[in-house]
């Protein structure tokens, strides 16, 4: 069975590696074009390209997926199956090309959390369970017939980074399981059942990560967990932008600590009032500075209260 793999970030590398280790016949890899990065703006290859080249796999990097020359090159590989992990939306000319179809790995229990940031939003919304899903592609994004799902618990302390790592590994195993099942003609695709309660996972923006201290404490904690380590929750403190990485919620109302009011002993704690108590800042990064535990930050900061 001839397979073409589509993917770009680290999350996709684990699945590609699992396919290679399982001795599947991956005939080509499609990934994003090299992009300028860092201070020198040198061209940098995607994690998938870097791994694929270590395996001697053919790498395609189209700028436009509808480019006739790319489509012709894709046809020449005569793939039986295409596998998508963390790649951009494909046109029908691409996903409808192989005889066995094209399946995608998505980091949620579809149909919930369709969209670009399912891991972040599951934590931001306080979910206690998520998972990974494989499904066949069709016209509308993340709506195709389900193949397999695996669940994953979310703890009260999980950050997006921690959950990302677990789902990346669990997803790689599911990709292998799905590929084997397709090869053995042992799949039973099921249509997604939609309800009014479905939650979505839209692309993150800078506004998504802005902490609103008027919200309840648990919602604020969930936002900060969900934006950690990337792209980061943030606030403004004494006129400076700060990226918050760790906090603790105290469900205790303090008379002089109203919503959005800051307080510190300038030695051991920094806290701010919220709707139902206060948030203690444990670690953050002020603009132009390195990430600090709060005690280290307090030792070197001059307050203007």
Tens digits of residue pLDDT in 97-140: 999 999 999 999 999 999 999 999 999 999 999 999 999 999 89
How much is the pLDDT for 253? 92
pLDDT tens digits for range 266-286: 999 999 999 999 999 999 999
Burial (Cβ within 10 Å: 0-12, 13-18, ≥19) of residue 235: buried
Can you give the pTM of this predicted structure? 0.95
* pLDDT averaged over every residue in the chain: 96
Higher-scoring residue by pLDDT: 303, 56: 56
How much is the pLDDT for 41? 80
Query: 11 pLDDT band (50/70/90 cuts)?
Result: very high
Checking if the pLDDT of 259 tops 80, the result is yes
Dihedral, 47, 48, 52, 54 alpha carbons, nearest 10: 10
How much is the pLDDT for 31? 98
CA 32, CA 228: separation in Å to the nearest integer?
25
Q: What six digits make up the tokens of 271?
A: 């806290």
Interval 93-97 mean pLDDT:
97
All domains in the chain, ordered by first residue: 2-183 (3.40.50.170), 207-299 (3.10.25.10)
Residue 108 zone, left/alpha/beta (φ > 0; ψ -120 to 50; rest): beta
How much is the pLDDT for 305? 60
Q: From 177, 176, 191, 5, select the one nearest 81 (Cα to Cα).
A: 5
CA 257, CA 277: separation in Å to the nearest integer?
9
Cβ(31)–Cβ(46) below 8 Å: yes
Residue by residue, DSSP assigns 84-131 as EES-PPPPHHHHT-STT-EEEEESSSTTTTEES-HHHHHHHTT-SEEE
Interval 159-182 mean pLDDT:
98
pLDDT tens digits for range 33-57: 999 887 778 899 999 999 999 999 9
CA 179, CA 83: separation in Å to the nearest integer?
9
Look at strands 35-37 and 42-44 and give their pairing: antiparallel
């Amino acid at each position: 069975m001839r397979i073409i793999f589509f993917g770009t970030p680290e999350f996709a590398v684990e699945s590609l590696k699992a396919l290679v280790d399982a001795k599947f016949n991956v005939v080509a890899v499609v990934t994003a074009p090299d992009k300028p990065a860092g201070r020198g703006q040198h061209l940098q290859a995607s994690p998938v390209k870097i791994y694929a080249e270590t395996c001697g796999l053919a790498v395609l990097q189209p700028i436009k997926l509808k480019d006739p020359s790319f489509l012709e090159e894709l046809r020449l590989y005569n793939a039986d199956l295409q596998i998508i992990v963390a790649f951009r939306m494909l046109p029908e000319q691409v996903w409808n090309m192989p005889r066995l179809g094209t399946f995608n790995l998505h980091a949620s229990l579809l149909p919930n959390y369709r969209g670009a940031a399912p891991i972040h939003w599951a934590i931001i919304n306080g979910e206690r369970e998520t998972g990974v899903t494989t499904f066949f592609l069709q016209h509308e994004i993340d709506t195709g017939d389900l193949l397999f799902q695996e669940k994953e618990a979310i703890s009260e302390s999980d950050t997006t980074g921690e959950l990302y790592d677990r789902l990346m590994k669990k997803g790689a195993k599911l990709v292998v399981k799905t590929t084997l099942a397709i090869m053995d003609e042992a799949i039973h695709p099921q249509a997604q059942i939609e309800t009014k309660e479905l939650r979505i996972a839209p692309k993150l923006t800078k506004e998504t990560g802005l902490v609103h201290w008027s919200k309840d404490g648990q919602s604020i904690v969930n936002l900060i967990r969900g934006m950690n380590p990337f792209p980061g929750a943030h606030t403004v403190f004494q006129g400076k932008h700060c990226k918050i990485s760790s906090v603790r919620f105290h469900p205790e109302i303090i008379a002089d600590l109203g919503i959005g009011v800051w307080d510190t002993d300038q030695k051991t704690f920094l806290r701010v009032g919220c709707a139902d108590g206060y948030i203690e800042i444990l670690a953050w990064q002020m603009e132009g500075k390195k990430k600090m535990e709060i005690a280290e930050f307090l030792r070197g900061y001059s307050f203007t209260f």
